[in-house]
Amino acid sequence: MIALLQRVSQARVDIAGETVGQIGAGLLVLVCAEPADTEAVVQKLLAKILKLRIFADEAGKMNRSVQDEGGGLLIVSQFTLAADTSGGNRPGFTGAAPPALGEALYDRFVGLARAQHPQVATGRFGADMQVHLVNDGPVTIPMRMH
């Protein structure tokens, strides 16, 4: 799985002018399933995200996790994270899981996140979404878990 984390002071997802997911301070998590991903990969990625120390402590060092901070998670599916730009000018997306598998893994990721973290909001798999965010820092962390 591929994830792109952005530490935010606020973020929301709109679909057709309606806000479907919103958080205050926390993490915007863009996720993309890959064809070989499994339940174990989903669990491993979520565990890493929840414990990743990218929030400032009292001394200003990145030493606290989203769980330590009590921040929100806004989880958004984004198959374009698997873009292959090595040839031509149009990216290829064969590195992303097929839609049925991608949606199943995304749903599992969200379900596990909701079971392990008190504040979880989402976008909608496969929808045309507008993602609004205020990146705090800015802090943006790319991750890939196998």
Tens digit of each residue's pLDDT (9 = 90 or more) over 93-118: 999 999 999 999 999 999 999 999 99
Which region, left, alpha or beta, applies to residue 120 given φ > 0 means left and ψ of -120 to 50 means alpha? beta
Among residues of the chain, what percentage have pLDDT more than 90? Answer: 100
Decide if 11 contacts 138 (C-beta within 8 A). no
Does this model's pTM top 0.95? yes
Looking at the annotation, which residues are catalytic? 78-80
Q: How far is CA 36 from the centre of its chain?
A: 19
What's the pLDDT tens digit per position in 11-37? 999 999 999 999 999 999 999 999 999
